[in-house]
Structure 1
Amino acid sequence: MSATATWSEFLRDPNRVIETMEENGDVILVRRAAPPVRLSDAAESAATEETLGALTQLLAIALDDELLERLVGRLTITFPWIELLPESQRPEFVADFLNHARGGLAVGRLAGLTATLAAWRETAAAHADPRIRVDGTDLTYLDKPVVVRDPRGGE
């Protein structure tokens, strides 16, 4: 469980916020014009990362073809959007996810895993779009990059 405090509270009374962290596991520091910051015990976070790494490694080495098929079939419980991927791409998603999880946990950075998960979810959404052909025959591949205008109004 986590508690919440403002950045100002932390600056005014850091000891009280640290005590809250020790009681609750971590504290989310809310800042006015910036994303929140998590304050947590480094040893506990390291232990969690180590455990996640071990679980990921164990899962990766345990995946034979039969288990992979069962896992792919059950992933729709956690990731319902997987149903939108072609069946042939579902094992590829699992392998890609596990590779990024193993690598990210090995170096303590999971941003690549987060990006991979988002990319696969967007791929599933593209497959669900009736304006897009699943076989990709409506796609045009570019030989060279093309500069396009920023849709947000920038340059």
Structure 2
Amino acid sequence: MGATATWSEFLRDPNRVIEAMEENGDVTLVRRSAPPVRLSDAAEAAATEETLGALTQLLALAMDDELLERLVDRLTIAFPWIELLPADQRPEFVADFLNNARGGLSVGRLSGLTATLAAWRDTAAAYADPRIRVDASDLDYLDEPVPVPNPEGDE
């Protein structure tokens, strides 16, 4: 679960905060006017990352068409918004998610996976928007480019 401490408490009594981390697994340091910071044991975090990487690699290696289809069906439990995607895009989401997970875990950076997940969720939301026609029949195509003003007002 973890513990919580203020940044000031950490600066005044770091040993107490470290003890709390050792007892609870990690400590969230709350700061004024700044996002919280998590203090955790680096070896434990590395072991977790390595395990997640191994699981992701095993899942990707085990993926065949039949497993992919079952996984797509089961992912709707964890990510209900997947139902809003067209059926032919759901396997593409799974492949994109797994590729980004494998790549991100191999370099220890999951921000790309986070962005991928958000982009697919936003795509699902767009499909659910009744103002948007999925077949793009509501779009007007231009024969020539038209300059548009900068929304921030800078030229």
Counterpart in the other structure of 2:98: 98
Whole-Å Cα distance in 2 between the matches of residues 144 and 99 of structure 1? 37
| Structure 1 runs (4+) greater than 3 angstroms displaced | 139-148
Look up the equivalent residue of 1:61 and give its one-letter code: L
Look up the equivalent residue of 2:67 and give its one-letter code: L
The TM-score normalised by the length of structure 2 is 0.92
Q: After superposition, give the CA deviation of every residue in 1:69-121 in whole Å (9 maximum; x if it has no partner).
A: 00001111000000000000000000000000000000000000000000000
Gapped regions of structure 1 (runs ≥ 5): none
Counterpart in the other structure of 1:45: 45
Whole-Å Cα distance in 2 between the matches of residues 51 and 145 of structure 1? 51
Look up the equivalent residue of 1:5 and give its one-letter code: A
Per the TM alignment, residue 136 of structure 1 is displaced from its structure 2 partner at its CA by 2.5
Is 1:3 matched with 2:3?
Answer: yes
1:46-125 to structure 2, matched below 5 A, reads 46-125=46-125
Label 1:140 to 1:59 Cα distance change in 2 as closer, same or farther (>3 A): farther
Q: Secondary structure at the match of 1:132?
A: coil
Counterpart in the other structure of 1:21: 21
Counterpart in the other structure of 1:130: 130
Q: Secondary structure at the match of 1:28?
A: strand
Per the TM alignment, residue 140 of structure 1 is displaced from its structure 2 partner at its CA by 5.4
Q: After superposition, give the CA deviation of every residue in 1:10-32 in whole Å (9 maximum; x if it has no partner).
A: 00000000000000000000001
Look up the equivalent residue of 1:64 and give its one-letter code: D
Q: Secondary structure at the match of 1:113?
A: helix
Name the % identity.
Answer: 83
Q: How many residues were matched structurally?
A: 152
CA root-mean-square deviation: 1.9
Counterpart in the other structure of 1:35: 35
Gapped regions of structure 2 (runs ≥ 5): none
Look up the equivalent residue of 1:65 and give its one-letter code: D
The TM-score normalised by the length of structure 1 is 0.92
Whole-Å Cα distance in 2 between the matches of residues 145 and 117 of structure 1? 33
Whole-Å Cα distance in 2 between the matches of residues 122 and 113 of structure 1? 14
